Every structure is written in structure tokens, then in C-alpha cells.
Structure 1
């Protein structure tokens, strides 16, 4: 998994998954193209977290400070973020994949989020997303812990809503084909 390559050790995480049933072609591509702009809940939660309202697809995560670190087409896409602010108000958006892995400064926090597709069988698929956060020092970890306490429930709602939107839109597209 790409997420293990970029952030094998972490202090905070959340994981969510959803199953899709049926013979569906092009799930991964459809997953990346899923439009979240129809979800009132996602838009409301993004506004609540003071995030850009322009995050319509997974790849639009770059509009809120994430950098696309790597992709294994058909399987997994990974985004990362580096910040010196435990509330993620500022981010280093020009960090390369190599710099992301190598940077272990005690004044930073690194976060990754992936979206992954697994086939259980020809007719059963799992889409999952995992978020991991690594803090460079005990002080940063302590500061982030308070932020995470308040943000995690909203983050969970966003991830679950994204997965439900993906399942709904992928299954609708499959019915049309």
C-alpha cells in the first residue's frame, strides 16, 4: 500500500470502507471522478471546517492544501500534507514525494489520505479511505490531539459521506451501461 510507504508510523488515524456489489467496469476511474458537489452534508461540513467549497472530486483535494504524492492506477491514490500548524491553517503545498518521506522535522505534522480499491471477487469490491497523521514532537502531538478531538467526528462524517456518494454514483453509472 502506498500509504505504508509514505507514513508507516503515525499517531492518529481513521479508516472507513464501503462495499460495492455487481459486475462493474472502470470502478477506479469512476471513484476518482465521483462528484461530491451534490452532497449538502459534505458542503456543509467543509464550510464548517472552513475548507474550500470547490472540492468536487478526490483529485480536488489539492485545492485545500494536499499534494498528490503517488498513484497506483486502478488501485490506490495518495495525497499528503505538511504543516507547522496543528490546526492545519497553513500547509507546504510544494513538497515533493521524496521530501515528504524524508522530512522528519520536530516542528511539523504530516498527514496522508488515501482512497483504495480492492476486489473481493468479480462481483464484490471494497472502496476504502484512510487518514494518518504523524507529529514531529511530543509538543506537536499534544497540540494536535486537542484539534483532533473536535475535528475527528466531522472528518469521519465527511469520509463516510464521500464513500456513500461514490457507491451511489458508481452503481448508477453501472446501471446506465
Structure 2
């Protein structure tokens, strides 16, 4: 075969290969789930169906959220002791909690005082939350309101079904959970997460400054709650 014939043959082979590549379908690029970045807290929200973790009870009540906060601690006690401590804890027993809540409620109480109100509102506490559901590994509390208002603007919620069904413009649905995860060394990883779902733009804009204003203090209180639950659980285990 002459040199010119070989070059023509190679040229035809190259064009045939390129034609086959053009007809070969390519796999579509996997796109990451889109997240709402209009508000800073929304950008960190993890979709409830994310395959990186199992479904939790809190996902049932607040599957998507506008703001969230999470803290954790390791507890050297069995799950039943930790669960018992969670179901009986009262954050208002913490002196720092009472001080911070008193400061938070000061504008409301001052207005009532000068407005001539004869009734004094009760101090905000765990009784304002509704126990939505719990199992052997998680406890979920719920709260609905307009938390930027001096009186928190709370709505009455009877149970988990009422919380799930609640839909009202301008009202934020907040879920607070405590989740237990056994570790390989026998300890329990106790995690608490707070999720706030705003149903509309107006509620988001009103909650946004309030959330970030109170977040340093709420984070401190949640860490103290976890430390208190750790102490109670380990003390109950030691005395068993």
C-alpha cells in the first residue's frame, strides 16, 4: 500500500471514530440540591431526604427550615437514663436561664406595668412547648409563635397532629429535639437541634434579626442544657 493510500485510510478511520463519539449519548451531570441563599441561614439547611443521615422524628414536623442550630455532647450513661433525663428536664431551673428570660421579657412586663395591667404574665419555660412525639432515640418539642414580639405571640398547640396541621401566615413553627446516638465505646452522643420554619417572606424578615440577636445566648443555654442532661444521666447511672 502506497503512502498516500495509508494516509487516506487513517483519515477515514479518524472521521469514523469522531462520528461515533458524537452519536454516543453522555450521562447528564448530577446537580446538587438547590438551596435558598436569599437568607444566610437558609444556605446551611440540609434537605430532610439527604441520604447522609437516617430519617428523624424532627423531619416529620419541620422537614424544611429557614433557620437552625445544633449542639452535641457525649454522655457516659445508657440510653434509658439519658431519655429519662430529657423527659423530666426543666431549663427554668437554671439560674442563667431565668436571668436571660427575665431580660428578654422586660419590655413586655414594663409595658404591662405602666399600662395598668393587674395580671402578671407567667415566665416563659418548657411548659410553653408541646411534646410532639418521642421514641427510644429522640424527643421532639414544638412551639408556634411570632417570637420577635415582646410576648412571643404564641399560638396554642394541643399535640403533634395540631402542630403538623398548623398553617397560618406570619407564624413561625419551631421544633426542638434531643436525639440519642450510641457510640462504639458505649457512650451516647446526645444532640439537640432547633429548627424554625417561616411560611412567608414577611415572617422570615421579622425573625431574621431576632434570631441572630438571641443566637449567642440561646446557644449558651442549649450547651448548658446538654451539660445538665449529661450530669443527671451520669449521676442516675452511677447510683443505679
1:110-158: per-residue Cα shift (whole Å, max 9, x none)? 1111112221136210111110001111111001101112111111111
Partner of 1:26: 81
Alpha-carbon distance, 1:169 to partner: 1.9
Alpha-carbon distance, 1:35 to partner: 5.5
Partner of 1:94: 157
Q: 1:20 to 1:12 in 2, by over 3 A?
A: same
Partner of 1:58: none
Distance between the aligned counterparts of 1:24 and 1:130, measured in 2?
18
User: Does structure 2 conserve the Cα–Cα contact (< 8 Å) formed by 1:118 and 1:125?
Assistant: yes
Alpha-carbon distance, 1:173 to partner: 2.2
- SS of 2:156's equivalent in the other structure is coil
Distance between the aligned counterparts of 1:86 and 1:36, measured in 2?
21
Distance between the aligned counterparts of 1:97 and 1:83, measured in 2?
15
Structure 1 residue 142 corresponds to structure 2 residue 201: no
Alpha-carbon distance, 1:78 to partner: 1.0
Structure 1 residue 82 corresponds to structure 2 residue 144: yes
Bigger radius of gyration:
2
- SS of 1:91's equivalent in the other structure is coil
Unaligned runs of 5+ in 1: 56-60
1:5-62: per-residue Cα shift (whole Å, max 9, x none)? 000111000001100135675321133234546533233223233396584xxxxx1x
Partner of 2:233: 170
2:191 to 120, 125, 128: 128
1:2 to 37, 46, 57: 57
Partner of 1:107: 170
Aligned residues: 169
- SS of 1:10's equivalent in the other structure is coil
Partner of 1:45: 100
Q: Provide the aligned C-alpha RMSD in A.
A: 2.5
TM normalised by structure 2 equals 0.62
User: Does structure 1 conserve the Cα–Cα contact (< 8 Å) formed by 2:101 and 2:124?
Assistant: no
Distance between the aligned counterparts of 1:76 and 1:23, measured in 2?
14
Partner of 2:8: none
Q: 1:90 to 1:106 in 2, by over 3 A?
A: closer
- The structure richer in strand per residue is 1
